[in-house]
Amino acid sequence: MTFPNFAQPGPRPGPPLGNQHPVTQHPVTQHPVTQQQGTQFQGAQFQGTPHTPGGGNGEDTGHPAVDAVLRSLANAARLAPAEQIAEYEAAHQVLQETLASIDR
């Protein structure tokens, strides 16, 4: 169905020519760091916990199916992208089924 007062789309523009970027580039102004500013964070240490791929701090969740999924996700980072997608889809399915079984 077409609407009488609705403008019809025209041809789509093509990609930019050459190495031109469609966004205007502005020069970046760099400000020198003074001695006082540069020493402000010397000696600071991060007190957080390191990130463990696949969820959490390496401790078990207490549910064997969830623990297995988290281990498989930690190993998925080493796979090719197509295999990662399949691994994530399988993990999603297992987690959905596990959650559904807990709700019963």
Please tell me the predicted confidence (pLDDT) of residue 102: 83
Is it the case that residue 57 has pLDDT exceeding 90?
Answer: no
Q: Which of 61, 62, 85, 57 is nearest to 73 (CA)?
A: 85
| Cα dist from 8 to 1, 5, 13, 55, 92, whole Å | 12, 9, 15, 49, 42
Helix (H) or strand (E) holding 83: helix 81-103
Please tell me the predicted confidence (pLDDT) of residue 46: 46
Is it the case that residue 23 has pLDDT exceeding 80?
Answer: no
**Whole-number average pLDDT of the chain:** 71
Is it the case that residue 53 has pLDDT exceeding 50?
Answer: no
Please tell me the predicted confidence (pLDDT) of residue 95: 93
Predicted TM-score of the model (pTM): 0.43
